[in-house]
Amino acid sequence: MNQTSLTFQVLIEEDKAQGDFIAYIPAIRLGARGDSLEEVRENAKDLLLMQIESGQKKGKGFPSDNTTTIDQITISVPSIV
């Protein structure tokens, strides 16, 4: 069986309030959670594989990674006196 390697951008953020990590995968617009960086990465891989397998069963091709931009914005808020 032939294998194809695909690379996807994943944004991982620590959720200190919940004590875990969140991984967002822009190409499929879904996210995964995990208790550690290692676990959230594995959960993100599993989610991607499930989405790809589901798409293949429906006759769809591989999702393409998009060109996500992470940027900063500045806003002005009223001062609290």
- Residue 18 carries which side chain, given as an amino acid letter? Q
The pLDDT tens digits for 41-70 are 999 999 999 998 998 899 887 777 767 788
Choose which CATH entry (3.30.300, 3.30.1490, 3.30.450, 3.30.160) describes domain 1-81. 3.30.160
Question: Contact 8/1 with Cβ under 8 angstroms?
Answer: no
pLDDT of 24 reads 94
pLDDT of 66 reads 67
How many CB atoms sit inside 10 A of residue 62's CB?
14
Band of pLDDT at residue 14, cut at 50, 70 and 90: very high
